[in-house]
Structure 1
Amino acid sequence: MKKLTFLYVTLFLAILSSCSNDDSDDLIDFSVTFNTATISTTETETTTEITLNFSRAATEAGTITVSYSGENATYGTDFSTAPAGNAGSISIPVSVGDLNTSITLTKILDPVEGTTKSVTFALDGFDNTDWMNGSLTSSTVSFSPIAALNGIIDLENGGSNMPNQVYFDFSSGVQTAVKRDTWELAFYNGTENRVYLNSSLLVSAAELEGITDLLSVTETTDLSSPLELNTLDPMTFQPTTVTVNTVSDLLQGLPVGYFQYGDIQENIVFTDSGAGELEGTAFAEVSTTASENNVYIIGLGNAIPTEAAEPGSINTTGDHRGFMKVRILSDGNSYTIQYADLEETTNFSEVTVSKNDSYILSAFSLTEGQPVSVEPAKDSWDINFSGVFSYYGSQGPLFAGLTYSDYAVHNTLGGVGLYQVTTYERDSEGVVTEFDVPSYANFARGDVDESSFIYDDRTVIGSGWRDAFGGTLRDDRYYVLKDAANNYYKLMFTAYVSNEGVRGNAQFTYERL
């Protein structure tokens, strides 16, 4: 049995380390498409980018002509553009190597209350006869908020290191990119006092049961009682147990990885749950009675590498960023964060962060010692394309700290529901079974199954939309989403890598139902 387990694990590791890359010297057609059909703006936004994406990098220079027309909007009076418009037309230069271009619209006058104002841009020709229109040939900018109709989104995860996590809001068509190493902890702004970890950075946390004096903790500190924890033997990769007596012992198994310590049966887990529910945080609920809140050791996660990976591969996990000790207090309306370096015994830092009902979570950087802006407002994002995602769980027969790439989660804490539609299944013999469901193109509002929406597990999309081992995009599934304002959308991934084969450049298309 041990030999079989070892062979299984060896094969498993070999698969994990493998990648494939299908390159071709043949250029695809050069087409131009707007990345979204509608763009919504607010009163406070004075400028808006209208993006045109290319099917591949331009191999020769040229010019795109875009026409525009306004509804209750006159050029020079209500709006202007860069490049400048002339008699209803804009000429946009394209240079060799460009993957996209854009028009900047500047609002001069907002609409009078009770009226609408918008500008529609449309592809109107190219000076290169080999260029052609893509799937979206027009885009309308509304001067006031509207629900977006559809779009093609190139995610800004930043390439093979996946340095950014991206929040996307379907109703506005807006994505917000944030460096994933700008924060470690996030505080829940609802009625419960909960602390979340930055799973995209592989942050972990371990409670020191019965220890409330932050400055008394160092690596040599004894735990209140020994822990028997599970891990994997680094030589045989077979399950084994370790006895943890001190903080120093604990540090060996705190970083997220295959050798992370834990015991799911005893509810000893040093990451948040994959599903993301309030009760699944590594931190216990913060008590308003200070004496009930213990010290935690925080694994600060892994640095973002700067060296790009080979095409088709990823390089997302750098050196471990070390450890800090933290104690969180709360009065129900705010959180007080006490923190220090692990070996500090004289002074600790303390910062109070008030709850803000406009946001689900408020992020905090332990390394910078201050709150940071990460999540958009709670009603302004539906999906987080985190790029990297980690939690403690099972992979086959093994329990370990798992890390995934190309990952997406939906905003379950914000009331967003989502489910997957599977169009066919291929078994191990290659036999295909097609299911009696509409294709993505034919799926309409009447096909929505309200009972299928999942509101308590954020990982429905996860990384299942692509085949990392085969280096391909899965074409057997798409997704249906219902946002908190009861708008319905369908979405399907349309690219796994860039035109040059670089990971961290995914693309999806969506449409409001």
Structure 2
Amino acid sequence: MVKLNAGKISAILLMTALFAGACRKKDATLQEPDNLANFETSAQGISASENSIVVKVKLSRAVKNDVAVILNLTAQGAQYGTDYTTTPAVTSTSGTANILLTIPSGNSEASVTINKVAGALFDGDEKLVLDVYSTASPVIIGATRQITISFSELIAATATATINGGGANYPNKVFIDLSANRQTAVQRTAWDLGFYAGADFRVILNSSSAMMAKQLNKTDLNQVTSADTVGFATEVAFSQTAPVTSAMAYIDHPSGDLTRTAIAEIAATAGDNKVYIVNRGFGIGTPAPERGWKKIRVIRNTSGGYTLQYADIAATSYQEINVAKDASYFFKYISFETGAVNVEPAATKWDIAWTYFSNSTNFGGGEVPYLFQDIVLQNRNVQVAKVMTTTKTFEAFAEADLTGLTWSSSQTAIGSDWRSGGGPGTAPAVRTDRYYIIKDGDNNYYKLRFTALTQNGERGYPAYEIALIKEG
């Protein structure tokens, strides 16, 4: 029998503990990739008409505890307090301007707002440079650690970007301004109805949450009961397994044609406007929760805008919201839960949008409503043309090639055309044999191609690159 003295036993136990601890540390390291802190983009512009912009530092994933982030700020041609301020305010450490941010536990981003001082004048060459100087553990500084903010609208010559769709459950609708290299992500369930700000009186459904609406032959909300909705649960609802052509009448046409919306044009005579039963579609999650039903009626008001009347199906009274037209926007939005909400940017501040979408398809028996992921829409003042690489490569396409293109104003001109697959047994992928020419509302021409459908295998973060062909 081999005998070990107490010293040898202690040494063996110590080595065993150290080895086990090292293994645990290694295993823990393998469990999660680095959590990186990055700006959303490397350049952003604040136009003459804007008073402020929000700059975000985003993490790869939410943190379990509060994380401090220190930004260094360098100004070129602009003076803090005279020309601009920031929220949070700048502090000074050894002559260096710092901004201290905190990413709260359970969150994955923090932001700083750049504010113009009222009355300040700018020549157009003033810039601010923000740099992620340090982050608290366990966050690591990522590759996009620096952003340049220009005090005039940035006309991007080239750019690459990853769209912040929010992940595989596609929680965001993301509006993208190509010339400003800016994206605005909005939770896609944050609104219900959009009210057209143009000359016509049109109302749209939230096409990113599977909404539908059916007209009743009634004009008084209080006279509508659940008896008026018998069978609607299956009739006025999306079906991914057995879609029917008759349901096309209950969605806004995917092309964006305002004469083909589920809700008829709002008549000048109030008595001509009927009640609609609205299926609010689905929320965000797996499985996606149902958002419920409403009865609504819209009339024109004496101020030149809209009055929305709405209630639960069984209610014997209703609420009203007045919606004014604003020529700076194409639509103004409301939520049945929170009232007026900001959704899409001003009409000239976005070009394309990525979203989950109430689309249509044809399985051989006619056009039917069908829900699509990874749809790219275009703004109402934007035109799009598709170019195949067999005609001209992306790199070679130049201003001289703009003649002879076939332009489309349909909001689904890109749609799902940029990707393939996604059906049962077929992996989705970017189509690399095509790209798109975008003519924006300021007559800037860009070429755009998609470079990724996923990030680290997860849908909801597609990537693209653009190059300016001709400035408007």
Q: Which residue is 2:387 aligned to? A: 421
1:366-415 deviations in Å (ceiling 9; x for gaps): 244x12111111111111212x1014542344653200001110012xx1
Q: Which residue is 1:340 aligned to? A: 311
Is 1:405 the counterpart of 2:362 in the alignment? no
Is 1:219 the counterpart of 2:226 in the alignment? yes
User: Quick one: distance in 1 between partners of 2:249 and 2:168?
Assistant: 29
User: Quick one: distance in 2 between partners of 1:331 and 1:77?
Assistant: 44
1:336-374 deviations in Å (ceiling 9; x for gaps): 111121122x21222221222221111111244x12111
Is 1:326 the counterpart of 2:296 in the alignment? yes
Q: 1:47 to 1:396 in 2, by over 3 A?
A: same
1:355 to 325, 335, 339: 325
Q: CA deviation at 1:213?
A: 2.3
Q: Which residue is 2:230 aligned to? A: 248
Alpha carbons 1:254, 1:261 under 8 Å: kept = no
Q: 1:287 to 1:67 in 2, by over 3 A?
A: closer
2:358 to 359, 368, 390: 390
Q: Which residue is 1:442 aligned to? A: 396
Alpha carbons 2:46, 2:151 under 8 Å: kept = yes
Is 1:290 the counterpart of 2:270 in the alignment? yes
Q: 1:103 to 1:189 in 2, by over 3 A?
A: closer
SS in 2 for 1:503: strand
Is 1:275 the counterpart of 2:255 in the alignment? yes
User: Quick one: distance in 1 between partners of 2:40 and 2:195?
Assistant: 37
User: Quick one: distance in 2 between partners of 1:105 and 1:45?
Assistant: 10
User: Quick one: distance in 1 between partners of 2:393 and 2:429?
Assistant: 23
1:301-324 deviations in Å (ceiling 9; x for gaps): 11211xxxxxxxxx5x61322221
Q: 1:504 to 1:52 in 2, by over 3 A?
A: closer
1:263 to 242, 246, 254: 246
Alpha carbons 1:37, 1:149 under 8 Å: kept = no
Q: 1:150 to 1:350 in 2, by over 3 A?
A: same
Q: CA deviation at 1:250?
A: 3.1
User: Quick one: distance in 2 between partners of 1:65 and 1:464?
Assistant: 40
1:364 to 326, 334, 341: 334
User: Quick one: distance in 2 between partners of 1:398 and 1:460?
Assistant: 20
Superposition pairs for residues 448-487 of structure 1, below 5 Å? 448-449=402-403, 451-455=405-409, 457-466=410-419, 467-468=421-422, 469-487=426-444
Q: 1:85 to 1:488 in 2, by over 3 A?
A: farther
Q: 1:281 to 1:76 in 2, by over 3 A?
A: closer
Q: Which residue is 1:381 aligned to? A: 350
Q: Which residue is 1:119 aligned to? A: 127
Alpha carbons 1:34, 1:137 under 8 Å: kept = no
1:156-185 deviations in Å (ceiling 9; x for gaps): 111111111111112222211111111111
Superposition pairs for residues 101-140 of structure 1, below 5 Å? 113=121, 115-119=123-127, 140=148
User: Quick one: distance in 2 between partners of 1:190 and 1:437?
Assistant: 38
Alpha carbons 1:40, 1:148 under 8 Å: kept = no
User: Quick one: distance in 2 between partners of 1:354 and 1:105?
Assistant: 28
Question: TM-score w.r.t. structure 1 length?
Answer: 0.68
User: Quick one: distance in 1 between partners of 2:109 and 2:230?
Assistant: 53
Q: Which residue is 1:3 aligned to? A: none
User: Quick one: distance in 2 between partners of 1:65 and 1:465?
Assistant: 37
1:129-152 deviations in Å (ceiling 9; x for gaps): xxxx98x99864322234232322
Q: 1:212 to 1:147 in 2, by over 3 A?
A: same
Equivalent residue letter for 2:213: A
Between the two proteins, the alignment pairs up a number of residues equal to 411
Q: Which residue is 2:189 aligned to? A: 181
Alpha carbons 1:288, 1:331 under 8 Å: kept = no
Q: Bigger radius of gyration, 1 or 2? A: 2
User: Quick one: distance in 1 between partners of 2:212 and 2:311?
Assistant: 16
Q: Which residue is 2:19 aligned to? A: none
In structure 2, runs of 5+ residues without a counterpart are 1-30, 61-69, 101-107, 132-141
Alpha carbons 1:150, 1:511 under 8 Å: kept = yes
Question: TM-score w.r.t. structure 2 length?
Answer: 0.73
Q: Which residue is 2:45 aligned to? A: 39
Q: 1:67 to 1:450 in 2, by over 3 A?
A: farther
Alpha carbons 1:40, 1:147 under 8 Å: kept = no
Q: 1:249 to 1:151 in 2, by over 3 A?
A: same
Is 1:511 the counterpart of 2:464 in the alignment? no
Q: 1:89 to 1:496 in 2, by over 3 A?
A: farther
SS in 2 for 1:326: strand
Equivalent residue letter for 2:202: R
Q: CA deviation at 1:104?
A: 6.2
In structure 1, runs of 5+ residues without a counterpart are 1-24, 55-63, 93-99, 124-132, 222-246, 306-314, 424-434
User: Quick one: distance in 1 between partners of 2:93 and 2:407?
Assistant: 45
Equivalent residue letter for 1:448: L
Q: Which residue is 1:49 aligned to? A: 55
Alpha carbons 1:34, 1:138 under 8 Å: kept = no
1:72-120 deviations in Å (ceiling 9; x for gaps): 3478986799797989999x9xxxxxxx999969578799647233237
Q: Which residue is 1:239 aligned to? A: none
1:30-64 deviations in Å (ceiling 9; x for gaps): 9x99934553445754566387999xxxxxxxxx9
Q: 1:274 to 1:34 in 2, by over 3 A?
A: closer
User: Quick one: distance in 2 between partners of 1:102 and 1:295?
Assistant: 43
Q: CA deviation at 1:495?
A: 1.8
Superposition pairs for residues 141-220 of structure 1, below 5 Å? 141-208=149-216, 210-220=217-227
Q: 1:401 to 1:101 in 2, by over 3 A?
A: closer
SS in 2 for 1:452: coil
